[in-house]
Amino acid sequence: MIPEVLKNRLAKDRPMVSVTVRMPQDVVDSLRAIAPLKGLGGYQALLKTYVSEGLRRDEAEHLFGPAARLADALRRRGVPAELIEAAAREAAGKAA
């Protein structure tokens, strides 16, 4: 089953927002050099590609992966959200 958030991501008419990000000049220079090698028109397209790739990876791990499915199953069985969140932080190596 594909989560609704991912289905919505495929829509062509999604609203857009402008974002300003400060980056070191050498990073922008590297993006400009790599973009045409990857067949992209400019560094901003490459930057969007990198953000999308990282976001998909992290969503798969944190929102839709095995741990998220386990948390959903526990919630459905009445385990309090606070307990699930504390266990998730502990499992991730963060302070509970």
Mind listing the pLDDT tens digit for each residue in 33-61? 999 999 999 999 999 999 999 998 888 77
Closest to 50 (Cα-Cα) out of 88, 23, 73: 23
88 near 71, Cβ under 8 Å? yes
Tell me, what's the pLDDT at 28? 97
Six-digit token string for 96: 């509970």
pLDDT of residue 92: 77
Provide the token pair at 93: 């190596």
pLDDT at position 45 is 95
Q: What is the mean pLDDT of the chain?
A: 87
